Amino acid sequence: MLNKARSWLSVRRGRATAPVRADHDLAIPAERMTRMYVSLKRRLTDKIEDVLEEACVIGDLQTAEELLQVLEYMHARQPVRSGPDRRAQVDRLASLRAEVARQQQLRAARSARSAGRFAGA
């Protein structure tokens, strides 16, 4: 609609202009579309990591442990990839393991403290 209005105004003012192409007429190269889809597509592992982190935050360590096992199984089944993405995934799994272990230690320390309080009372 806007392109037609521009053409009409140009003719009305006595100027001849080349027809303006609408945005939907432009062809986007396939490699650019592929890069866009890869950046926008969220991997299943990312979603599971989010749920695992939420389970740690709310203190549901059993769910966090099970989700960590699921991530480890998914990682083991994936074809071997080279490059920084594979290394980042290994590092991410290690940090998630460490976080779950830290949460377990905190819970054990809290329960030991509360057990000591009740025994001393």
- Kindly give the confidence (pLDDT) of every residue in the chain, 121 residues in length, as a single tens digit, with 9 standing for 90 and above: 444 545 544 555 555 555 555 556 677 788 877 777 666 666 788 889 999 999 999 989 999 999 999 999 988 887 766 666 666 778 888 999 999 999 999 989 988 888 777 665 5
- Do 53 and 106 sit in the same domain of this protein? yes
- Do 78 and 22 sit in the same domain of this protein? no
pLDDT of residue 77: 84
- Do 14 and 58 sit in the same domain of this protein? no
Q: Number of structural domains, the chain?
A: 2
- Do 61 and 22 sit in the same domain of this protein? no
- Do 50 and 34 sit in the same domain of this protein? no
Q: What residue numbers bound the domain in which 101 lies? A: 43-120
Distance of CA 119 to the CA centre of its chain: 46
CA distance 52 to 65: 8
| DSSP state at residue 24 | G
- Do 50 and 66 sit in the same domain of this protein? yes
pLDDT of residue 8: 47
Q: Which two tokens stand for residue 91?
A: 């590092």
- Do 34 and 50 sit in the same domain of this protein? no
